[in-house]
Amino acid sequence: MKYMLLIYGDESAAANATPEQLQAQGEAYEKFTQSIIASGNFLDGDPFEPTASATTVSVRGGNAETRQGPVEQTKLQLSAYYRVEADSPEHAVEMASRIPGALYGFIEVRPVWNFD
């Protein structure tokens, strides 16, 4: 089964990180990414641009409405994702627990519908 591992963190804290902290975080993510590539579980994954670059779209009364920013302003922001193949929900949670962002934010594990 496929799962999305959605990484939530604090954009303002990340913006204030030192170059050394950013390098250490990048190395930790690279180590995790390489581990799930090697295991064959990795399907896709990328970081997102900051939430300020988001555009929210809705259609009301047949008219498209847009506004700048994410759907909801929250303390934590959706910052990146991994799409993985897991043997079970528990396996997906185990992978999520190894994502570096779990140390200071949250990882949401969501099953992905399979239309095959």
Could you state, in order of their start, the residue ranges of all structural domains in the chain?
2-111
Q: Which residue has the tokens 């970081």?
A: 47
Q: What is the distance, to the nearest Å, from the Cα of residue 31 to the centroid of all Cα atoms in its chain?
A: 16
Q: 70 or 109, which is more confident?
A: 109
Q: Which residue has the tokens 């847009």?
A: 66
User: Is 116:39 a contact under the CB 8 Å cutoff?
Assistant: no
Residues 20-42: what's their mean pLDDT?
97
Strand partners, 6: 81, 108
Query: What was the pLDDT predicted at 72?
Result: 85
Q: May I ask the CATH architecture of the domain 2-111? A: 2-Layer Sandwich (3.30)
Query: What was the pLDDT predicted at 26?
Result: 95
Token duo for residue 87: 């043997």
Residue 116 pLDDT greater than 80, yes or no = no
Query: What was the pLDDT predicted at 98?
Result: 97
H helices within the chain, ranges in order? 11-15, 19-39, 89-97
pLDDT in tens, 52-101: 999 999 999 999 999 999 888 888 999 999 999 999 999 999 999 999 99
pLDDT band at 42 (very low <50, low <70, confident <90, very high): very high
